[in-house]
Amino acid sequence: MDRIAFVFSGQGAQHPGMAEAFYNTSPRAKELFDTADAIRPGTRDMCFSGTDADLRRTENTQPCLFLADLAAALALEEAGISADVCAGFSLGELPALTYAGVMDAMTGFTVTAKRGALMGDACTDETAMHAVLKLSNEAVEQICAAYPHVTPVNYNAPGQLVISGDKTELAAAAADIKAAGGRSVPLAVSGAFHSPYMNEPAKAFGAYLHTVTLTPPTIPVYANRTAAPYDGEIIGTLADQMNHPVLWEQTVRRMAEDGITVFIECGVGGTLQKLISKILPDAKIFGCETPEDIETIKEHLS
């Protein structure tokens, strides 16, 4: 029998109109957005009709994506599809933890808004992130070692590793990457996430989490920081995620080792589907971005 993982999209996948179809068709998704908008007015409109530039700002991106990701999971549950385990990519770890009952929906939303604000404050025009393609992890790590302010951060899939840091050094590293036969692609984010540039936000976020009521997850949630299920140390693991690498490839492989056969990406963009297909070519992988996607998933799982 299939065992299902919900995996929640991360930053960079955002776009205007995300999750609006769920708002119009799913009672639980509508309640989620309306309640969140009462707490942080304008968030719903930002999701549905905000500009690309507005949505790219980290303090807006994160709470909006949290709602879009969680809305997809709630709509799936309304259709009778639930997860045995879950995980999220970077920001996506917060809706994953919320789905698993570590926080209620509005606590998760508030925590996500706090995370986005802290990370947004640390963003500067001098930092960025690039996806490096067509090179081994070891080759990318060796190139980064020559630059004191460039760090390998997101271990996405075979032949894809994201690096983060100072823009000037990233440009120089990109030239080295090209010379080595690889390709460097700038990402649609506004800072050097998961790197030492996030040390202060991670410290502040950890302190903030101590003021929040958290409970053990009802299903396993695989942590970016460890590529293993949370084992009780939620605050430290979640705070450390902000300034440490995302071990996504290792996480997906661990879920497969633990018996997961179906991966459903809850949220927008389809990035995680593509990564998982590179990691596990034989896995059953679906995206859930619209109500029509849910019907497709139901047909394949019936």
What is the rounded CA–CA span in Å between residue 100 and residue 79? 18
Catalytic residues: 90, 194
Return phi, psi of residue 271, to 5°. -60, -45
Instruction: Please give the angle made by the CA atoms of 45, 267 and 116, to the nearest 5 degrees.
Output: 60
List all residues 6 or more positions away from 273 whose beta carbon is below 8 Å from its beta carbon. 263, 265, 285, 286, 287
Q: What DSSP letter does each residue of 73-135 carry, written as one string?
A: HHHHHHTT---SEEEESGGGHHHHHHHTTSS-HHHHHHHHHHHHHHHHHH--TTEEEEEEESS
Instruction: For residue 33, give the nearest of 117, 106, 111, 113 by alpha carbon.
Output: 106
Are residues 133 and 159 in contact, defined by beta-carbon separation less than 8 angstroms? yes
